[in-house]
């Protein structure tokens, strides 16, 4: 275990868990600020962010064990400032932003003084699973751009200082028509936030409201990267962001697993019916298998992502489906193993289950990913047979 993993582990268990809010409550802003201060002091704050902007500078293949430790507490990722959507935005800014933009947006974001949003999804029939349908438009004006359009399910927007907005732009000089990313303060003229959508999970501060951009001016200095290249940059964010969700939720699954192991070790499973312990063993083993295969596919996808972003994105899609479903199963089994306590306020397990349930839907539902995974597999094989591989489905003569 690396030193940072060990320190993160200790910090979460010694400092963060004792400060967790009760059933149905949320962490107060002041308490969060205080915990973040302690995290900085302990040297565990913003593990993924670049050192020169205040983070610990970990490379992507090393994130997983640290993020899992953070996710062991529902509030851990927020305390360590490695929660969605800020964490994905930090990475995007790190890769794409100018030095000036990094000073103005990345540095305060890593410091934790502000929050941010990523504004891509739109109401039907705009950009959703299919980003090509982008309806929000940014018009070229003197010295900048004017954004018009409506976004929905913009996680964290309520209270965020700025959003990275994806908008359609026309060809402009050397820049092709396409999607462009713009950095827009959310207190700008023309921004309207709300109505919010109430969802069953509560882990992301700032909810998931609609955000309307009604003629919002963004100066040239706040265009993120080159105009027209927005979809390419979105991929930069997408693959890792999927994986960090997996990492954090896997940490929570480990928490739930430890909880039911404590119950099992206390010999009170299913109302202390010793004879049922055997039935429990298969469930415990299945959870161990779910946890380790999740950790393994995350690692594999993270390593590939560094070398080959396209192959890595494909693997991150597989990892997302597997982990989101595995994590749900692990927590569901923990609920079951703790019996009545599992569904009551006495333990946080049923709350965990509600926190992770949407993960099978967010960032592309399991079904959308399965469709894409199947299509990619079929096409890859088609390329092989087109290139001369023998078709294997020819039926031999009867014998």
350 binding a copy of itself? (CB under 8 A): yes
Element (H, E) at 341: helix 339-342
Map the footprint of a copy of itself across residues 193-212, applying CB under 8 A.
195-201, 208
Residues 351-380 that bind a copy of itself (CB under 8 A): 353-354, 357-358, 360-362, 365-371, 373-378
Neighbours of 332 (CB within 10 A): 20
173 vs 396 by CB, closer to a copy of itself: 396
Complex with a copy of itself: residue 180 or 316, whichever CB lies closer: 316
88 vs 364, beta carbon nearer a copy of itself? 364
Q: Is the bond preceding 85 in cis, omega lying within 30 degrees of 0?
A: yes
Residue closer to a copy of itself (CB basis): 46 or 234 = 234
Beta bridge partners of 164: 118, 183
Q: Record the tokens describing residue 338, joined without a space.
A: 């703790």
Of 24 and 173, which has the nearer Cβ to a copy of itself?
24
Residues of span 12-71 touching a copy of itself by CB under 8 A: 13, 17, 22-24
Q: Which of 96, 283, 313, 331 binds a copy of itself (CB under 8 A)?
A: 283
Rounded to an integer, what distance in angstroms lies between the CA atom of residue 246 and that of residue 324? 7
With beta carbons less than 8 A apart as the criterion, state whether 117 and 92 touch.
no
Size of the site for a copy of itself (CB under 8 A): 109
The answer to whether residue 331 forms part of the interface with a copy of itself (CB under 8 A) is: no
Record the tokens describing residue 186, joined without a space: 């959310």
Q: Does position 346 bind a copy of itself by CB under 8 A?
A: yes
- Candidates 44, 284, 327, 330; binder of a copy of itself (CB under 8 A) is 284
Site for a copy of itself in 174-193 (CB under 8 A): none
Q: According to the binding rule CB under 8 A, does residue 131 interact with a copy of itself?
A: no
Judge whether 168 and 137 are in contact, CB under 8 Å. yes
Nearer CB in complex with a copy of itself: 51/379: 379
The residue from 107, 232, 300, 329 that contacts a copy of itself (CB under 8 A) is 300
Q: Cα-Cα-Cα-Cα dihedral of 291, 306, 91, 358, to 10°?
A: -30
Taking CB under 8 A as the criterion, which residues in 62-91 touch a copy of itself? Answer: none
User: Per-residue DSSP letters for 59-92?
Assistant: -GGGHHHHHHHHHTSTTHHHHTT--TTHHHHHHH
218: β partners: 145
Closer by beta carbon to a copy of itself, 168 or else 357: 357
Answer whether 61's CB lies under 8 Å from 302's CB: yes
Q: At what angle do helices 277-307 and 230-265 cross, to 10 degrees?
A: 160
The CB-of-327 to a copy of itself minimum distance in angstroms stands at: 14
């Amino acid at each position: 275990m690396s030193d940072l993993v060990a320190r993160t582990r200790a910090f979460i268990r010694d400092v963060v868990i004792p400060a967790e809010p009760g059933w149905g409550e949320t962490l107060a802003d002041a308490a969060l600020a205080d915990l973040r201060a302690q995290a900085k002091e302990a040297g565990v704050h913003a593990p993924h962010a670049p050192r020169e902007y205040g983070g610990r500078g970990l490379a992507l293949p090393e994130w997983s064990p640290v993020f899992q430790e953070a996710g062991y507490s529902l509030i851990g990722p927020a305390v360590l400032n490695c929660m969605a959507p800020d964490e994905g935005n930090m990475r995007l800014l790190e890769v794409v932003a100018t030095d000036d933009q990094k000073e103005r947006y990345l540095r305060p974001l890593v410091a934790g003084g502000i929050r941010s949003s990523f504004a891509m999804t739109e109401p039907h029939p705009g950009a959703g699973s299919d980003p090509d349908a982008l309806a929000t438009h940014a018009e070229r004006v003197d010295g900048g751009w004017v954004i018009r359009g409506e976004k929905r399910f913009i996680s964290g927007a309520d209270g965020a200082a700025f959003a990275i907005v994806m908008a359609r732009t026309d060809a402009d000089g050397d820049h092709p028509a396409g999607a462009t990313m713009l950095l827009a303060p959310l207190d700008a003229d023309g921004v309207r936030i709300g109505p919010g959508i109430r969802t069953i999970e509560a882990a992301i501060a700032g909810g998931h409201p609609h955000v309307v951009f009604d003629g919002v001016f963004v100066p040239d200095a706040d265009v993120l990267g080159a105009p027209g290249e927005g979809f390419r940059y979105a991929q930069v964010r997408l693959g890792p962001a999927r994986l960090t969700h997996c990492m954090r939720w896997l940490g929570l699954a480990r928490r739930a697993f430890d909880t039911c192991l404590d119950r099992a070790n206390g010999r009170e499973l299913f109302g202390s019916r010793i004879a049922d312990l055997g039935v429990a063993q298969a469930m415990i083993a299945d959870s161990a298998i779910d946890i380790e295969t999740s950790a393994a596919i995350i690692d594999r996808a993270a390593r590939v992502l560094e070398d080959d972003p396209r192959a890595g994105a494909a693997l991150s899609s597989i990892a997302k489906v597997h982990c989101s479903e595995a994590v749900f199963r692990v927590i569901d089994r923990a609920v079951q193993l703790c019996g009545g306590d599992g569904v009551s306020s006495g333990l946080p397990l049923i709350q965990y289950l509600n926190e992770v349930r949407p993960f099978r839907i967010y960032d592309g539902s399991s079904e959308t990913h399965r469709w894409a995974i199947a299509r990619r597999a079929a096409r890859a094989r088609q390329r092989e047979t087109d290139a001369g591989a023998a078709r294997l489905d020819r039926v031999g003569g009867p014998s």
